[in-house]
Amino acid sequence: MSETETQTSTKTRWKLTIEYDGGNFCGWQRQDGVPTVQQTVETAIRAFCQQDIVVHAAGRTDSGVHALAQVAHFDLDYGARDLSGFVLLKAINAHMRPAPVSITHAEIVAPDFHARFDAHNKLYRYRILQRPAFPALEKGRMWHIKRALDVDAMHEGAQYLVGKHDFTSFRDSQCQAKSPIRTMDQINVTKHVYDDYGGVEIRIEAQAQSFLHHQIRNIAGTLVMVGDGKWAPIDVQKALAQKDRAAAGPTSPPDGLYLVRIDYPSLGV
């Protein structure tokens, strides 16, 4: 490059919305020797732009956990070339096929946007299939429970978790968060018709600014204790008050868990 030529390094920060089938990956976070969503997305972007980028997600989902709309950001040095979100999305997706990961939206954001720190709310959904027959079409996508659950009791028990609490009882022993205090904005347990023979889909939807490791799966496992009648709804409050992981129910399987939506009020969403 001659002295008269100057190249402006124009880093652009991109926000990606990502859908994936978690059953095919050992979670979001890059690890050696196993397929992860982060690695799949990063490899595709590197193949497309030939730059050593890193993709930062709003939250690291565990192995087997799905996302309808994970959010992540990364910086692309694309000089003066004009790149639309639509073109970027198409290029990354083309490089990811046939992996079950898809960029559903891509947009340029402010250079200081941070997928994790700017997230105002996260909405997770946990799906339970209640019927004798295991799921054929939704295999790996729901927690299959054969016995009938009391959904009203589950919803009642869940309400004790709303508000600011020490969630130690629902936190994995490996959780690396500094504080076990979280504020649950809302949590609802609802019942939906699944098939014509009494099959029921139970959905637990939980919204908070952030969650602890395994928090929703531990809550789901506990609410099923209530649904089974082994616990009264008030026992959820007692488990919470004990601040002891052993006081709450078991961890439910990852199959039923979906990261549904992340809100960024600074972006108008």
Q: Which residues are catalytic?
A: 62
Which residues 50-89 are close enough to bind a second copy by CB under 8 A?
Answer: 66, 68-69, 86, 89
* Assigned token pair, 264: 């960024």
The residue range among 49-57, 92-100, 165-173, 202-210 that interacts with a second copy, by the rule CB under 8 A, is 92-100
Q: Shortest distance, CB of residue 258 to a second copy, whole angstroms?
A: 9
Which whole-number Å values give the CA distances from 154 to 147, 160, 188, 206, 208, in the listed order?
14, 11, 9, 13, 19
- Verify binding: residue 43, a second copy, rule CB under 8 A: no
- Verify binding: residue 100, a second copy, rule CB under 8 A: yes
Q: Shortest distance, CB of residue 4 to a second copy, whole angstroms?
A: 41
Residue ranges of alpha helices (H) inside the chain are: 37-49, 85-96, 151-158, 215-227, 234-242
Q: Shortest distance, CB of residue 214 to a second copy, whole angstroms?
A: 22
- Verify binding: residue 181, a second copy, rule CB under 8 A: no
* Assigned token pair, 44: 């595709």
Q: Are 211 and 182 in contact (CB under 8 A)?
A: yes
The site string for a second copy over 201-240 (x = CB under 8 A, - otherwise) reads ----------------------------------------
- Verify binding: residue 103, a second copy, rule CB under 8 A: yes
Which whole-number Å values give the CA distances from 145 to 123, 127, 133, 196, in the listed order?
23, 11, 9, 17
SS3 state of residue 241: helix
- Verify binding: residue 101, a second copy, rule CB under 8 A: yes
- Verify binding: residue 105, a second copy, rule CB under 8 A: yes
Q: Number of residues in contact with a second copy, rule: CB under 8 A?
A: 34
Return the sign of the alpha-carbon dihedral for residues 153, 155, 159, 161.
Answer: positive
Report how far residue 163's alpha carbon sits from residue 187's, in angstroms, rounded to the nearest whole number: 10
Of 56, 60, 90, 125, the one binding a second copy by CB under 8 A: 90
- Verify binding: residue 136, a second copy, rule CB under 8 A: yes
